Copies of this chain bind each other. A is one copy, B any other.
Amino acid sequence: MSRRPGKLRLGLSLQHAGYHAAAWRLPEVPRHANLDWQYYLRSAQAAERGKFDMIFFADGVAVRENLDDREVLARTPSVVNLEPLTLLSALATHTRHIGLVGTASTTYNEPYHIARKFASLDHISGGRAAWNLVTSWSLGEARNFGRDTPLDYDSRYARAREFARVVHGLWNSWEDDAFVEDKQSGLFFDPDKLHVLGHQGEHFSVQGPLNLSRTPQGRPLICQAGKSPAGQEIAAESADFVFTADHSIEDGQAYYREVKGRLAQHGRHPGQLLILPGVVPIVGRSEQEAQDKFGRLQELIDPKIGLSLLALLGDLSAYPLDGPLPPIHDYGEMASVARLIEQRARKDNLSIRQLYQAIAASRGHRTLVGSAEQVADDLQAWFEAEAADGFNIAAPYLPGAVDDFVDLVIPELQRRELFRREYEGTTLRQNLGLDYPEHPRSTPTHADH
């Protein structure tokens, strides 16, 4: 791990009114916040003040929740969102340093569009664009794109791998210095520096060239959040950083080793793929203040939403929320998950409300509630144990939780020499400490590294 960066990397995940399902109900969050680019700008600018590496917008091309359960759906703020590329482009011109990570699906897109849009964002932002490559698991997305069911797992990932190769190839359509723009002679570009892709594959035939030049970062960065072996392989072949969601430091270390171990077979070294687990921090000036902030959010979780999170345990609506979990008789189709949820309640003697609150808060990520020192201790431990190269900070509510992290945790990380005080470069690639990808100088047929 010789090339492992000395400082940890920080991304900030922004969505809806925040990552916490009840964030929109906080009195300080304006109505229709999730349609307002300036609402997100406040968080982006706070993140830039805190020298974050990047902001990240997750996305899906559907209302992915169950359309038939209108009671729960009507209480779900994630049903509408601005589209990430248009939103990031707006934010790009009001920020100077922060990286801009948008999500796009390989299952319901064509590589030419994705190559072009992210390249365009890289030009507009002066080298700060990154693509979060996802393969779209949901039924809702399938049904918006002519399918009855999602594409099966293997087909999705086979398509995604070829998709990423084509995108890499298109990004190398022109060499860095192709555009001579010689006004005197009338030569706009040097024709020897144009490389027509001519890709013919199993899923795509794409002639090229891309009608956009090589970008300030050489090419936009790629992020991938695959957990499965196929997902990890795409990351190892094509990505620059991965978002993950591990719950114990041991699991984090195992994942870290596994993904980094896959790089060599693609001719890459461990420093070329950064691993960023997600955490949801709730920070206070004291642990008590943090707990109070957290409690305020947890209280706002609608019981209908809460009970829907426990649906695997059956219909609990007849039981008092502040009473214990009743005996479960039928564990249903996903018995293993249902039993895990039940165990959690039994172990800590949680009421129904406490149980759904515990599940709602994390939604897959680790929730860290505490003082700046406590949160920094945790991040430092993961970083030093090589369970992480940095973190994807999912802000529970916007922009308050971003401000808290920037004002409280960042200075603490800086004091410990774990985090930058100034941006190192002008592009996201430079700030992340990733090498510039030299142009392969011949018609590329696979990923450019």
Contact = CB atoms under 8 A, between A and B. Distances in A.
Interface of A: 24-27, 31-32, 35-37, 60-63, 67, 70-71, 73-77, 79-83, 85-87, 89-90, 92-94, 108-110, 112-113, 116-117, 119-121, 123-124, 140, 143-147, 174, 179, 181, 183, 186-191, 194, 196, 204-209, 211-213, 300, 302, 304-305
Contact of A63 (B123, B205, B209): B209
Given A93-B93, A213-B35, A196 B67 contact: yes
Dominant secondary structure at the A interface: loop
Contacts of A110: 108, 145
Contact of A121 (B86, B119, B190): B86
A86 B83 contact: no
B75 A186 contact: yes
Nearest to A73: B191
A89 B189 CA distance: 28
B144 A90 contact: no
A186 B112 contact: no
A98 to B, nearest CB: 15
A74 B191 contact: yes
A169 to B, nearest CB: 12
Contacts of A212: 35, 80-83
Contacts of A208: 144
A111 to B, nearest CB: 9
A366 B97 CA distance: 44
A109 B25 CA distance: 37
Contact of A205 (B74, B93, B146): B146
A42 B119 CA distance: 22
B89 A87 contact: yes
B206 A80 contact: no
A35 B190 CA distance: 17
A205 B188 CA distance: 44
12 contacts: A24-B183, A32-B181, A37-B93, A73-B191, A74-B188, A86-B89, A93-B94, A109-B113, A110-B145, A112-B144, A143-B206, A146-B206
A29 B238 CA distance: 38
Interface centre among A25, A26, A189, A211 (most CB of B within 10 A): A211
